Amino acid sequence: MFSKSTHDIAASFSRRGVLAATAGLVLGLASLTGAKAADDTIKVGVLHSLSGTMAISETTLKDTILFLIDEQNKKGGVLGKKLEAVVVDPASNWPLFAEKARELITKDKVSVVFGCWTSVSRKSVLPVFKELNNILFYPVQYEGEESERNVFYTGAAPNQQAIPAVDYLMKEEKVKRWVLAGTDYVYPRTTNKILEAYLKSKGVAQEDIMINYTPFGHSDWQTIVADIKKFGSAGKKTAVVSTINGDANVPFYKELGNQGIKAKDIPVVAFSVGEEELAGIDTKPLVGHLAAWNYFESIKTKDGSNEKFIKDWQAYTKNPKRVTNDPMEAHVIGFNMWVKAVEKVKSTDPDKVIDALPGIEAPNLTGGVSKMLPNHHITKPVFIGEIKANGQFDVVWKTPGLVAGDAWSKELEGSKDLIGDWVGKKCGNFNTKTNKCLGSGS
């Protein structure tokens, strides 16, 4: 059927078929474009995928920002102006993130953007934010090794999630053998590199570390789960450190449950699985598997701040079962920090706000107060939670205080001397040994 000549195809190209096809395309895209805006408002860009493989995680973050803007406007807005959200859909398509970011800044003239989930999407928009000098709040735990003037990282750096989780497993579960399983992209690869270096520095031998990568959306986990089982039967306590992202987690956990790998035999500690992801799984076989985050919905606070947030959120979404999760909390902290900084300098000018943000403090939802650091990361508590049968987490361990986020990992040869300091040194990658700023060239 491909034997038709190109001439025929070209000739028939303009007929009804194209009409039908474009009509389909237009219909598909029409529902995604945002609204136009009035002039006396402050515009806030929301850059989260509402379709594609990351929609499962990112849609909630879009709703979170809309919720926060709604709450802020009820309090009278910022600087006497109402906030207005401009929502775009980069559709889990990494280059499209850059395009949509440019559109937000140049066309919609937003003052700040809240967005991105995967590190590839963040890397894709970085040049745009630098070039057009705007602000991005990035709410997801990530691999570190970055400190940019225009980006504020409200999610966890590796030392605020991965390293404490590994410490917990070593100390509490006496784990001697490690499977580092991840999705094949920059966050899992860098995190696993850091973890590998860290484990080796703790005396773990190379043969006791197994590293495995799978594509986005991987669904056939039989071989890998069987491999994990085999790796775990070498007479040493084994654990899986999972940086598997997105909805590939669901079939992974299903396969673990079906093949009878219980948490008490081989625990899995995940860095990207929260309440939202568990909502699509039967969690009974998963009881006891772990997750490391800076926030859990189940955490009880003395001042009731978490309880109040959950109640307001469920009222706003009109869904009494809607869960909350860690990246949402990061957006809450980031949003409140931005509001405070804008009110401090009485302007939404990105340069002024960027300079004002370090040192700003905002309460987190677990009863503490987080602070923006000169390296554009924030201080956070670290919690280890075990999955319960109802899809929530039971906190089994937490750090005594807040942990300051390291932009550059102390475990890696190439970055252990680097620091980010946008207050004193005005540099994102300052080498403390040579006393030099590496600049954007590195």
Binders in 56-115 for another protein, by CB under 8 A: 56, 59-60
Binding another protein (rule: CB under 8 A), the pick from 37, 81, 200, 251 is 251
Q: Pick the piece of the chain touching another protein (CB under 8 A) from 64-72, 134-142, 232-240, 303-311.
A: 232-240
Q: Which residue has the tokens 């252990």?
A: 416
Q: How far apart are CA 341 and CA 357, in angstroms?
A: 6
| Bridge-based pairing state of the strands 369-371 and 383-387 | unpaired
DSSP 314-370: HHHTT-TT----HHHHHHHHHHHHHHHHHHHHT---HHHHHHHSTT-EEE-TTSSEE
Site string for another protein, 179-208 (x = CB under 8 A): -----x------------------------
149 or 218, CB closer to another protein? 218
Binding another protein (rule: CB under 8 A), the pick from 219, 432, 440, 442 is 219
Q: How far apart are CA 147 and CA 151, in angstroms?
A: 7
282 or 343, CB closer to another protein? 282
2 or 35, CB closer to another protein? 2
14-33 burial code (b ≥16 CB/10 A, e <16): eeeeeeeeeeeeeeeeeeee
- The pair of three-digit structure tokens given for residue 390, joined into one six-digit string: 């109802």
Binding flag, residue 213, another protein (CB under 8 A)? yes
Binding flag, residue 212, another protein (CB under 8 A)? yes
Query: Do residues 241 and 166 make contact, with C-beta atoms less than 8 angstroms apart?
Result: yes
Q: Pick the piece of the chain touching another protein (CB under 8 A) from 46-54, 304-312, 328-336, 408-416.
A: 46-54
What end-to-end distance do the CA atoms of the chain give, in Å? 52
Q: How far apart are CA 275 and CA 393, in angstroms?
A: 8
234 or 369, CB closer to another protein? 234
Binding flag, residue 321, another protein (CB under 8 A)? no
Site residues for another protein, 262-281, by CB under 8 A, read: 263-265, 267, 276, 279-281
Kindly calculate the radius of gyration of the chain based on its CA atoms and give it in whole angstroms. Answer: 23
Q: How far apart are CA 356 and CA 341, in angstroms?
A: 6
Q: Residues with Cβ < 8 Å from 117, sequence gap 6 or more?
A: 48, 49, 54, 57, 58, 61, 140, 327
Q: Pick the piece of the chain touching another protein (CB under 8 A) from 138-146, 213-221, 354-362, 423-431.
A: 213-221
Return the SS3 of 60: helix
Q: For the CB of residue 56, give the shortest distance to another protein in the complex, in Å.
A: 5
Site residues for another protein, 328-367, by CB under 8 A, read: none
153 or 253, CB closer to another protein? 253
Binding another protein (rule: CB under 8 A), the pick from 247, 297, 326, 411 is 247
19 or 438, CB closer to another protein? 19
DSSP 243-254: E--GGGHHHHHH
Site residues for another protein, 287-306, by CB under 8 A, read: 288
Q: For the CB of residue 76, give the shortest distance to another protein in the complex, in Å.
A: 32
- The pair of three-digit structure tokens given for residue 62, joined into one six-digit string: 């879009």
28 or 359, CB closer to another protein? 28
Q: Pick the piece of the chain touching another protein (CB under 8 A) from 191-199, 250-258, 362-370, 428-436.
A: 250-258
